[in-house]
Amino acid sequence: MPTRTVHMTHPESYDAPKKYVLVLSCVDARLLDDLVGFLDHDNLTNRYYHVTLPGTSLGLTDRWKKDRPKPCKENQQKPNENLPVGSFVRKEPCYPIDLEDQFARWRLTFIDQVKAALILTEGQLTDIYIVQHEDCGAFRFYMEKNSSDMSDNDELEMHESYSQALVDDIKASFREVYNAIDTNCIPVQEKMPRLHTFYMDLRGHVTHLSTYPKDKSKPTAKSKATKTPSKPSVRN
Ligand SMILES: [Zn+2]
């Protein structure tokens, strides 16, 4: 049985997907090559649909409301005439007025992507990967959760909490919310895809956080993430 170590770049503590996979990741450009390498390792080349949203699961459930920063006061956030309509300049740490609406749109987008994957695979979407990552700029910008202000373990647990909230949401509402309906009003896929959560550090090392339903033969053993220096590029 494969086992995982702290220094293993790619975990093998879950059964490999048999058919198609939907991958949800952050938009962060620094880790795209590492993500593709991870998916290749899982033999998923040409077998996955890829959805990217800032912060991965950040805005997809109500979990973010526990970390909601203070609302912006009028004198803290003003429209910037030099930027496109609707752009604001943040004078002080605060969340934009429309954050709740924005996250609601992200959620609808993700749900639509899941439905599309179910339809396009003709009901053979066996797995969903939810890939959080270290030093996420979306968490810094929207939630004021700055990687450099947190311990490695706190950062890992924060991402685990958000991704688990999405897993719980899909578990609770797959049939009613996420599943697609065909032209005969029949659900496209009876069985809910397996749900995997991962955490990638800035060197591309992947920690397997959870799988639901659990693989009987491969118990999950979360390894401690190792903090790595930030890559000098734009964070998303
Ligand atoms: Zn990110």
Burial call 68-102: b when 16+ CB within 10 Å, e when fewer:
ebeebeeeebeeeeeeeeeeeeeeeebbbeebeee
- Name residues of the chain where pLDDT drops below 50: 1-7, 75, 223-235
- Give this prediction's pTM: 0.82
d(CA 52, ligand 1 centre) in Å: 10
Domains of the chain in start order, with CATH, are: 20-69+100-212 (3.40.1050.10)
d(CA 30, ligand 1 centre) in Å: 9
pLDDT of residue 9: 81
d(CA 55, ligand 1 centre) in Å: 4
pLDDT of residue 80: 61
How do strand 48-52 and strand 88-90 relate by DSSP bridges? unpaired
d(CA 69, ligand 1 centre) in Å: 18
How do strand 48-52 and strand 20-25 relate by DSSP bridges? parallel
d(CA 58, ligand 1 centre) in Å: 9
pLDDT of residue 74: 54
pLDDT of residue 215: 78
CA distances from 101 to 60, 83, 109 (A): 11, 21, 12
d(CA 137, ligand 1 centre) in Å: 5
d(CA 141, ligand 1 centre) in Å: 10
d(CA 27, ligand 1 centre) in Å: 6
d(CA 133, ligand 1 centre) in Å: 6
pLDDT of residue 157: 98
pLDDT of residue 6: 45
Number of H-type helices and E-type strands within the chain: 4, 7
d(CA 35, ligand 1 centre) in Å: 12
